[in-house]
């Protein structure tokens, strides 16, 4: 199960009781879509009760920006022409 991929679990194929259920609940908590099926037909979609917020990380764009403009410097004639 990865990201937004959908994993289908067939009720008659997977045993393990609470251990398997805990694994499925953990997958739903991570935002993965978990579908339980019976006889090859989807019957239940397991989702987290409250959506999780993505955690903020400093430096998420590190190395992505080569140059940041100095916004206090006056624009050149060419730059000003782009705004007219």
The tens digit of pLDDT for each residue in 35-71 reads 888 888 888 888 888 776 767 778 877 888 777 778 8
State whether residue 41 is helix, strand or coil: strand
Please state the separation of Cα 2 from the chain's center in Å.
9
71, part of any domain: no
Continuous H helices in 1-84: 18-29, 77-83
15, part of any domain: yes
81, part of any domain: no
pTM over 0.85: no
What confidence tier does 2 reach under pLDDT thresholds 50, 70, 90? very low
Q: What are phi and psi of 36, to 5 degrees?
A: -100, 135
14, part of any domain: yes
Q: What average pLDDT does the chain have?
A: 77
74, part of any domain: no
63, part of any domain: no
Task: Specify the number of domains making up the chain.
Answer: 1
67, part of any domain: no
9: containing domain: 1-42
Structure-derived torsion over alpha carbons of residues 39, 9, 11, 45, reported in degrees to the nearest 10: -90
């Amino acid at each position: 199960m990865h990201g937004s991929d959908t994993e289908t679990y067939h009720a008659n194929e997977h045993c393990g009781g609470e251990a398997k259920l805990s694994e499925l609940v953990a997958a739903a908590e991570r935002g993965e879509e978990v579908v339980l099926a019976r006889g090859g037909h989807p019957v239940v979609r397991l989702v987290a009760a409250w959506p999780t917020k993505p955690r903020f990380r400093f430096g998420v764009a590190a190395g992505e920006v080569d140059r940041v403009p100095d916004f206090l410097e006056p624009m050149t004639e060419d730059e000003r022409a782009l705004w007219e």
